[in-house]
Structure 1
Amino acid sequence: MLISLKKTVATAILLMAAATSSAATSADFSKCRQLFAGGALPVLKNASMAPRALCYDNFAVLHSGRSRTPIYVAERLNKDNLDNKITRGTRFFADARLPSGERAELADYKQSGFDRGHMAPAGDMATDAAMAQSFSLANMVPQATINNRKPWAAIEKATRNYVLRASGDVYVITGPVFDIRPATIGANRVWVPQSLFKLVYDPATRRAWVHWLDNTDDARVGKPISYEELVRRTGIDFMPGIRG
């Protein structure tokens, strides 16, 4: 019962974070729609989170002006891109495309006790420019330190290893899930996620699976859940017309 209640609460908050509809985001992502499987954008309901669509070279962010985090981050990966040896970046920055009242700032994370956790990992980036872009705070959530560096890093590595074996493009959508009264950090009150998810879809095999991990330092990687379970927990169709 407790687990079910936690899922229900998380679902309610993720739905709050779903700030627009598929039709409303189509034009916003027009320059990077190729990063979504079949060009299909997630169908999101409930407008309450001041969303803005941001296109980067290797990933796309639907950002929330309320949580000051991504709602989700989409990537298209393949083994040719991941074969590139790119020096890891180190310079985090606040994206100037976001109004100051809607974004996290570097000071919010300072001495917060949380890592700046990438949603689109630095290790996925194909060029130096994309690597630099991945350090935008629009691509970050406050993440428990051990969680970020161990179990979540293992999920990111497993995803890359799968892409290196895949026959073509693999699509990944990553995002945070918040509690009913989320903890916050910094003067801008950046929301701290309760959990994180990473959806992986391989069009060649039509297989989809989802890693779901609580944002705690004692969380452990478990068996992936199905796409259908992700939709059930969140009420959001991340790949409309492709799955289901």
Structure 2
Amino acid sequence: PATLLGLLLLLQVLASCLWLGHSEVLNSFDSCPQFFYAGTIPNDALNPKNPAWICQRFRNAYHYATLYDRDRRIPVYSAYIYHPAQGKRPKSWFVEPQLTGKSNLKEMESEKRLIEQYKISAEDIKKSQAVYDDYRGLKGLDRGHLNPSGHMDNDESKMATFTLTNVVPQDSDLNDSQWRVYEDIKMIGKTKGCTSTYVITGAVPGKTSVSNGRVNRPSHIWSAACCLENEKPAKAWGAIAENDKNQVEELSLGKLEEKLTELYGKTVILFNNACPRQ
């Protein structure tokens, strides 16, 4: 009996280890701390009631990290290392199997494949995340990437940005104009001389939603960056835009954190203390 008891305890421990392994990307960023400078993630002020920590995995590699709000069905932020490069813009869209609660798949997948190959119902996919249909036919709103494909340097990483856990309903004019200017032009100038740049781009939840109340429409889109020169933080900055105006305000990291603190009603700290706030 003692041996049997010992065996049962061992099995219990093994089972819990397996369970932890399957859910690692939903409980922390332990699998992908490399996307945050010095492994420091933003503080809990941004955390929603029902969060999911996603290490965005595609073709057997992690490409960036996303904190996702399962209730509002939008990302809170995506964190990545800035490596801009030309390349084909992907066309396929993915969802996150782990958010279904029905799968141990660790990689993003197409809705079609999850339904046909893995027998996960469309209803189960929709419960805790946005799906392609949620964005179909929206007027004046785009699927706005938090981590844009243009900031990634290879085909796999570019494709990995085309998951619905990395996009929010973004004002079309803003997405096509001033936010794009910031992403594609201003960032090149700002990162001059940086040996590496860590970026966190997020969305402040708004008071309205789309797709019959399923997907929150953010009130603001924001982005923050910490630039390293020879492995030491040399400068940092931020940008923020109201999600119904075609204007982007560029400001210091400290000022952005202050603005977000006002918007969230809690003190927001985005980066490790070594990143300059002025």
* Structure 1 match to 2:107: none
Structure 1 residue 167, shift from structure 2 partner? 3.4
Are 1:241 and 2:265 matched, yes or no? no
Equivalences for 1:1-244 in 2 at 5 Å?
Answer: 28-45=28-45, 48-56=48-56, 57-77=62-82, 81-83=83-85, 85-99=86-100, 100=125, 101-113=127-139, 114-162=141-189, 165-179=192-206, 182-187=207-212, 189-204=214-229, 206-216=234-244, 218-222=245-249, 224-233=250-259, 234=261, 235-243=267-275
Paired residue secondary structure (1:82): coil
Query: CA deviation digits over 1:148-182, x for unaligned, max 9?
Result: 11111111113541376333110111000123xx2
Q: 1:106 to 1:42 in 2, by over 3 A?
A: same
RMSD of aligned residue pairs (Cα, Å) = 2.4
- Given residue 64 of structure 1, which amino acid in structure 2 is its aligned partner? D
TM-aligned CA deviation for residue 185 of structure 1: 1.0
More deviation in 139-148 or 152-161?
152-161
| d(CA) in 1 for partners of 2:217, 2:148 | 18
Please, what TM-score do these two structures have when normalized by structure 2?
Answer: 0.70
Q: For 1:164 and 1:200, how far apart are their aligned partners in 2?
A: 9
CA distance in 1, matches of 2:133, 2:66: 22
Give the Å deviation of 1:94: 2.2
Whole-Å separation in 1 of the counterparts to 2:228 and 2:38: 9
Aligned mates of 2:27, 2:208 — CA distance in 1: 33
Shift in Å, 1:25: 8.9
Q: CA deviation at 1:186?
A: 1.1
Give distance in 1, aligned partners of 2:204 and 2:236.
19
Matched residue, 2:122 = none
> 1:188, 1:105 → 2: CA distance?
13
Note if contact 2:25-2:54 (Cα within 8 Å) is conserved in structure 1.
Answer: no
Query: Counterpart of 1:41 in 2: which secondary structure?
Result: coil
Give the TM-score of the pair, scaled to structure 1: 0.79
Residue 110 of structure 1 and its aligned partner are, at CA, apart by 0.9
Aligned-partner Cα distance in 2 for 1:45–1:26 = 18
Q: Which protein shows a greater Rg?
A: 2
Letter in 2 for 1:63: Y
CA contact (8 A) 1:82 1:160 kept: no
Higher RCO (Cα < 8 Å, 6 or more apart): 1
Return closer, same or farther for 1:27/1:203 CA change in 2, 3 Å cut-off.
Answer: farther
Shift, 1:227, TM fit: 1.6
Q: Which segment is superposed worse, 118-127 or 42-51?
A: 42-51
User: SS of the residue aligned with 2:223?
Assistant: strand
